[in-house]
Every structure is written in C-alpha cells, then in structure tokens.
Structure 1
C-alpha cells in the first residue's frame, strides 16, 4: 500500500513538472521578451472578420510561418480596428495592420485614443485603401454638395469624423446631414432598400460589396467631388489624401472617381528583435507572387511601395523598426 502511494506521489510530481515545462515554453510568445535565439510565437492582428485586412493578414501570417524557422504567428481579429494599437503596445499582438493616420493619433494619444501607445513601429507599406462616397444609379445626387439634407451611412465614429471634415470643405455642416451608423454590409442593404441616400465604402482595391451593388437592380453611382475641394483637402490632410478608383473598376463607373485614402501599413511591437522583424519583412516581400495571389491589393506590397510612402511622408524612415531598416537597406530602398 505504501509502495503504491509512493508511486502515485512520484507520478504526480512528474506530471506537475511536465506542465510547468510546457507553461514555460509557451511564454515565449507575445508576453515574453523576444530574442533572436528564441522562437517567436504571437498574434497577428488583422481587421474585421471577412474584410480585406483579415484576408490579407491571414495569408501573410501563413507565408511568414512557412518561410521562417523561428516564427509562428496566429491571426486574431480585433474587436475594432482602433484596438490594434493597444494590442500591439501591450504585446497582445506582436504584428498588426493599421492605417497611418490612426497610428499617428495612437502614438500621440489624440482623437479616439485617451492615452499614447508608443511601443509600436512600422514595418512596411501595404497599399492605398481608397474610399468611395456612393449612391444608387437612379438617385438625383450627383455631387458632394448634393449630400446636404441626406441620410449618410458611416461604419464608425472615426469614419464619421473624417467625412464630417470632408463635407465641411464642401460647405456642409455636420448637423446638415442625418448620420446612420451601419456596417459596410448594412449600408449596402440600406442603399438597396432606400433607407439611406449615401454610403461610404472601401472602394479600391476592388470591393465585393460595391461590385454587388453595381450589378443590383438599383445600380451604383460614385458621387463627384470637385478638384478644388480635393486639392484643398489634400493640402490640409496629407494622411487622408485623395486616391483614385479607376474607371471600369465597377459596372457603371465610366470615369475615375476620387475620395480620401487610408494608407495601410504593417506594424510591430517595438520589442521584437531586429532579426525577427527582418525575417518577417523578408518573408513577405521576397514572396510577392504568393502575397499577390491572396488578393489584388497584395500586388502593391513591394519594397517600392514602402519607398513611395517614405517619399510622401506617410512613413517616417526614422520610425521604421531596425529589422525593417536592415531589409530595405539590403534591397536599396534606404541608403
């Protein structure tokens, strides 16, 4: 009886030891201090479930995992895109997708952020996320100045704030439209039903919801914005500068459409080592064909796009993570 009891105690000690070792191994993720000699295990924060950030982020994480020896990232969908800075700063995620304007506000602790998140650095430019202000093809709305007095759909408070500023450039005050907070999918349905007059969507690279709207019974119309308004906007808000949805991108779009852009950038927690971020950057940019196959937006993810963002002051090269700097020096983007 005593011998059996001793064996049970020994077995219990062995099991506890194994659990302790496993737990120690698992701490080499987002909560640990990364080092080049250790395996990096952590989260890649993407975007809204089913959205382009989520699609691209999932594909990029797989490519990183397949092309590095010591990195294993799992994707996670943030509660909202504005949570990405907090997740990166706290190491709840080690890599994440964000917009340059949002991350600037996060670093400063302004706008939607009530504290500064400073433990974050850009890795590389991804693509220009061009927005669109649209209505149905049978609508009497032609120009942005016609939006006054209409029901306008927006996907978030941040989006509303940006569009409020844009409408101000067109001479329309915030209280001169009726704001409707709806997801992109809800806006699409509301336009079809006629319960809103105007929707605001991601437009380029090509978006499935707008493609569906363009072939629906009511059709799709891009609202025109005078060049004078666009130029004034670009001067005041370079991190929201107007981009172009090219003619022919959607059925019925017979000329280029213009609206503000959210510049998409990949970021990392600053505590990742130079080697880890170098490997992440190299895995993404050296496998351009595979990235492009995920979605047409992936075609823009090149060293040249990062150079473009640097030249346009969207990314400050001094802010880049040292691992990214090392890669871009190797390929000639940085001197």
Structure 2
C-alpha cells in the first residue's frame, strides 16, 4: 500500500470512529424532499478543490485527472485528485467535508443516502449532492485463458482479486458471490498490485467495476497477449437474481474489441456512476463546474473513453442523490427537465 493510500485509510478509520456515535439499530425513515432538514446553511467558494477518485490503474483515477485538469484550466482554481478506496470512501469524505468533490456509483449512493449497510453506521448521508452523470460501470473479470475459469461459477474455491475494499467491486462482489452461493477467496488492494499478483500466478482472476476500457486490464491484455486472456461477465439467471435483489443494477454489454482479447460482446451487469459534491459548495461555482465538464467532452475523452457517456442527456439515469441547485440551473438552461425526485430539500426553499 502506498503512503498516500495509507494516509487516506487512516482518515477513513478516524471518520468511521467519529460516525460510530451516530449508529442506530434501525435508521429513521428518510425525510421527504422539501421537509425542513437543514434547509438553511451557508455556502462556500473554496480557494482550491480536491476530487476523491480511487486506486491507480482504474477508471476513476484517470477520469478524475481529466476532471481536475479541466476545472483548473477553465475556472482558474487549483484542483488535485486524491487516491482513495473508491465510491464508499468518497461518499464518506464528501459527507464529512474532507473533500468537496468525488465520484461514486448509485449502489453505494443509495446505501449512503438512506443510511443502510454497516459501513454507514446508520447515518443518512444528506450533505452530498449529484452534479452530473459520468458513465455506466461495467462489472467484469479477467483471467488467463488456461485458468479453467469460463464463468462466475468456475471461481468457486479460486483466488480472485477484488480491488480496494471501498471500491464498487470491493463492496458489491462479496455480496454477489454470497448471493449466488460461490465460495471465492477474495483479496483486496490496488488494482495494479492485484494484477501483478495474477501475473506471478498468485491470483486466478481479477474483477473490476468501471468504465471501459479499464487501463490496467488493457495493459494486462497487452502484456499477456490477447490470445492468452479471457473475460468473464454476468448473464442469464445469475443476472436476473442479482437485479431482483438490488434493483439499481441493469443489463449491460461490453462491446467486442473493447480489449484486444475480447473477441465477442460480453454480457454483464452495470450501475451508473455520478459525480458528487458537497451541498455547501456555492451555487455559481457548481454551475461553472458542471458547465465546464458537459461542454468540453472532447477534453474529458483525452483522459478516458468512458467520458463518451458523460452527457447531459444521460441525466435520466440518475436517482437517489438529489442534484445540487447549481447543477439544476445548468440543466434547466439547456432545456432539460429535472425530475422532482432529483430536486434537493433546499431547492424548494430557495425558489418559493
């Protein structure tokens, strides 16, 4: 683990301890949009910004570098990226104000907003706001062609890399394998490190949930040779079981050729990613951030191909976490109708 990741992990641990005092046996029912739940608060315009991303070698880190560079140049504000454990950690950091910006997926966002699952300690994360849709997250695994693994069920009893603990795959895969009755020996860590272990025969496969192509997977494919790798997705009855249990999962397809070794379309599951920010960020600043990203897609594409889905019209893929009022202003100016379920509690107060 790098010194930076160790620092981040220690901060997360301290935040968990701080949140432990808020833990309850059963979370209270979530307030409806528009109820007085801290509607009046002071907004800030920081001198600099930090974006919570994920481990090196994954899509979040590459995408975050593009987002940071674009904001820095367009708004003349210093913006840096911080390597984290991924979506869960980023939700905690933005909720507590450690970072003002981050990236997450709708699964952990759902759990955070309603204070569900143990990692939230029963705390409803109501300081987070959605900014813009990023891209769909595609769940898939890479293994060597001679590993004997051709489907998820073949991973029973095998050693499989599962990314950082707080990442999308790190959070979701243990539950998925448990639901499907597959006994996998999971190992957690940075994706690049885990793929290195696979190269040396210490792991049988590695999983990821991210925008495609995932840089580290593409590099592994190139190093091993396209004919020597195999990609595993989720389809058929297994996919239907997962969607019934967690409705935020959707059908997804990774097109052939996404990786050199992917010789046909790969059926799998997906869940959308969303850029998030603190509700305490100034409306005008958030408006400019959203405008910069959505009107400079060609710049984002220089950092990762997943940005091809970072489009205003994909707003209808978001739910659970309401939009920041500054983001709402941008969408409305573009003639995009913002659904009621994406309006934050404070929005009605500001516009009455």
TM-score (norm. length: structure 2): 0.74
Deviations 1:108-153 (A, max 9, x none): 3333222332111101100112121231111222122222222222
More relative contact order in 1 or in 2 (CA 8 Å, sep 6+)?
2
**2:93 is equivalent to residue 87 of structure 1:** yes
Q: Matches of 2:84 and 2:187 in 1, distance apart?
A: 20
Partner residue of 1:48? Answer: 55
Q: 1:230 aligns with which of 232, 239, 249?
A: 239
RMSD between superposed Cα atoms in Å: 2.6
- The 3-state SS of whatever aligns with 2:248 is helix
Equivalent residues in 2 for 1:68-79, closer than 5 Å: 68=75, 72-79=77-84
Q: 2:308 aligns with which of 275, 299, 316?
A: 299
**2:124 is equivalent to residue 116 of structure 1:** yes
Q: Matches of 1:225 and 1:56 in 2, distance apart?
A: 25
Q: Matches of 2:328 and 2:43 in 1, distance apart?
A: 18
Partner residue of 1:247? Answer: 256
Moved more, 59-68 or 284-293: 59-68
Q: How many residues align?
A: 291
Q: Matches of 1:180 and 1:207 in 2, distance apart?
A: 19
Q: Matches of 1:182 and 1:252 in 2, distance apart?
A: 24
Residues 295, 324 of structure 1: CA spacing in aligned structure 2 closer, same or farther, 3 A cutoff? same
Structure 1: gaps (5+ residues): 1-31
How far the C-alpha of 1:77 sits from its partner, in A, is 0.7
**2:298 is equivalent to residue 289 of structure 1:** yes
Moved over 4 A (4+): none
- The 3-state SS of whatever aligns with 1:142 is coil
Q: Matches of 2:231 and 2:58 in 1, distance apart?
A: 21
- The 3-state SS of whatever aligns with 1:239 is coil
- Contact 1:34-1:40 at 8 Å conserved across structures: no
Moved more, 177-186 or 322-331: 177-186
How far the C-alpha of 1:253 sits from its partner, in A, is 1.6
- Contact 1:78-1:84 at 8 Å conserved across structures: no
**2:208 is equivalent to residue 201 of structure 1:** yes
TM-score (norm. length: structure 1): 0.77
Residues 219, 266 of structure 1: CA spacing in aligned structure 2 closer, same or farther, 3 A cutoff? same
Q: Which structure would you say has the larger Rg? A: 1
Equivalent residues in 2 for 1:1-335, closer than 5 Å: 33-34=42-43, 41-49=48-56, 51-68=58-75, 72-81=77-86, 82-111=88-117, 112-114=119-121, 115-157=123-165, 159-172=169-182, 176-202=183-209, 204-215=211-222, 216=224, 219-223=228-232, 225-307=234-316, 309=317, 314-316=318-320, 319-334=322-337
Q: Matches of 1:62 and 1:282 in 2, distance apart?
A: 14
